[in-house]
Each structure stands twice: as structure tokens, then as C-alpha cells.
């Protein structure tokens, strides 16, 4: 599975936010880094991503691959 972007709507501080994840056309690296001051929403982005992927973990546990 490859996640190409994160889209947040009405989450935390963000009304509508699209975050392209590496690699992109401008940046061929495989690493995306979130940098910002305290209270700017870095944790909100990561928690939203973790929540959206929780269905995958639940399925892996259910089927015990």
C-alpha cells in the first residue's frame, strides 16, 4: 500500500488541507517530514492518518496473515 496524499476536512485546526506525501514529481525522496511550532497541527495530521488506517490493522488481526 502506498499513501500518496492526506486530505483533512474539519479536523483539528484544519478546515480543508491536502498534504502530498513523498515521493512527488518535485521530490523523488521516500521521506515526508512534518515540521512546525507547537500547536500547529502536526499531531492532528498524524492521528488522523493513524485513525484512517486503523481498519487495515483490524483486518490483519482478524485474518491473521
**Residue 42: helix, strand or coil by DSSP?**
helix
Q: What is the mean pLDDT of each run of 10 residues along the chain (65 residues)?
A: 91 93 90 95 93 82 70
Which residue bears the cell 496473515? 65
| For residue 23, cis peptide bond before it (omega within 30 degrees of 0) | yes
Residue 23 belongs to domain spanning: 5-63
pLDDT at residue 53, as a whole number? 86
pLDDT at residue 37, as a whole number? 97
Query: What is the pTM for the complete model shown?
Result: 0.75
Domain count, the chain: 1
pLDDT at residue 59, as a whole number? 77
Per-residue model confidence as pLDDT tens digits over 31-49: 999 999 999 999 999 999 9
Amino acid at each position: 500500500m502506498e499513501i500518496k496524499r492526506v486530505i483533512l476536512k474539519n479536523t483539528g485546526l484544519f478546515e480543508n488541507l491536502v498534504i502530498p506525501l513523498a515521493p512527488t514529481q518535485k521530490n523523488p525522496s521516500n521521506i515526508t517530514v512534518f515540521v512546525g511550532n507547537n500547536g500547529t497541527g502536526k499531531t492532528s495530521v498524524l492521528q488522523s492518518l493513524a485513525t484512517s488506517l486503523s481498519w487495515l490493522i483490524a483486518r490483519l488481526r482478524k485474518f491473521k496473515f
